[in-house]
Amino acid sequence: MILSHDDAFHTQVGALLRSGPVPMSVMAEGPGTRKADLFIVDGRQDAASAMARVEALRAASATTGIFVIASEPNPDLILRSMRAGANEFFTFPPDETWHEAIRRTASRRAASGDGQAGTMFVFFGAKGGAGTTTLAVNSAVELARLSGQRTVVVDLKPGLGEVGLFLGVRSRYTLVDALDNMNRLDSEFLRELVAKHKSGLEILAGSDNFDRPNSSDGAGLEEILRHLREEYDYVIVDAGSQINASVLASLYTADMIGLVANPDVPSIRNAQRLLDRIRQMGASADRVRFLLNRAAEPYPIPPAQIEAAVGHPIDHMFPSDYKTVSAALNSGVPLSLTGNTPLASQFDSFTRRLIDAEGVATQAQDPGNGMISLSRLASLW
């Protein structure tokens, strides 16, 4: 949360927060608000008021991160900031030590067990029809089944969302109902909005409205995702294949961005361009896991050639099995519940690596085996 009356300051510091390797959601300040993992206090104009805010924030929480940003490195103000309870002091604009301070704060919060939030995986397609929904839905079902923890899948695609179809569930409410009732957004309201699947997975369905979510919904969606991460252990987002404000909100806050592509020229071309775009947006490329779907020998383009063209390693390859996927979609039964097939086994293996801490070391050594959440690597920071 950025505490400042300067809109330009909000914009610039918000971009800095989101440009680093730690997933970040920037919250709006409200009356009496004190809940955030990190507060950025603007001390450039009114130092006395800034110090009073720092003291109040520190009194409210002993573990919350507090950064003060001032116009110049005034020794007296630095000392006052530290005495008031600030963790870090920066001059505006912050220097290269900014992201290291963010890492320290994230590691400290994780080690204390305070402010723990669920892990969020976003699946984004290099092009339409790449199989993004197939990967998102089946990974979500497996996460719910194998972990036994609260898991929700969010359908971000306006008008054309198919998460409910894949699961054979018709939801009474959609994501747009949440966006249109932000004043009611709490645990109880979220429970009313989601539909439940027999696997234990919960679903926040996509809208039937082709115009929503739209560019004006980005801030609202970021707030919804923040609430979901507080309520659920795992949040899986089917983000489609079009970059817009809502998708950007999910990319900024994701622990992992699964870029889904097929072994064909259009997908490879788009994947390379999207990786560049993600880097430009500030969502760290370290969070991107390149997933190759419908990969079957003989490969039309060898995996090594794909990696060279994209400039990113392939983290996992899912085999091509149109018949099995089509039957699962038409019946509304996820692959993991349709029987023992090679593709179902792939999702089982893939998902176990997401939730198995022992699998982190294996994946780090062999990037072809799967993908991991940055939250699992907090100890390595």
AA letter at 324: T
Write down the pTM of the prediction.
0.78
pLDDT for the residue 359? 38
Q: Which residues pair with 154 in a beta bridge?
A: 204, 237
Q: Write the CB contacts of 11 (distance below 8 Å, at least 6 apart in sequence).
A: none
101: CATH: 3.40.50.2300
Q: How far apart are CA 48 and CA 22, in angstroms?
A: 31
Average pLDDT over residues 285-292: 88
Most confident of 22-36, 263-277, 333-347: 263-277
Q: What is the pLDDT of residues 10-27, one digit of tens each?
A: 989 988 888 777 888 887
AA identity, residue 83: R
Per-residue pLDDT tens digits for 78-105: 999 999 999 999 999 998 899 899 988 8
Is residue 203 very low, low, confident or very high in pLDDT (cuts 50, 70, 90)? very high
Q: Are residues 42 and 15 in the same domain?
A: yes
- Rg of the chain over all Cα atoms, to the nearest angstrom: 22
Question: Do 217 and 160 fall within a single domain?
Answer: yes
Given a contact cutoff of 8 angstroms between Cβ atoms, the answer to whether 66 and 86 are in contact is yes
Of 64, 97, 112, the residue that ends a domain is 112
d(CA 47, CA 87): 16
* pLDDT for position 113: 62
Angle value at C-alpha 284, between 93 and 10, nearest 5 degrees? 35
3-state class (DSSP) for residue 296: coil
363 and 250 within one domain? yes
Q: Indicate whether 241 and 196 sit together in one domain.
A: yes
Query: 287 and 220, same structural domain?
Result: yes
297 plus 329 within the same structural domain = yes
Domain boundary among 112, 139, 161: 112
CA distance 131 to 362: 26
Selection from 279, 237, 284 nearest residue 119 by Cα: 237
* 186 in the same domain as 286: yes
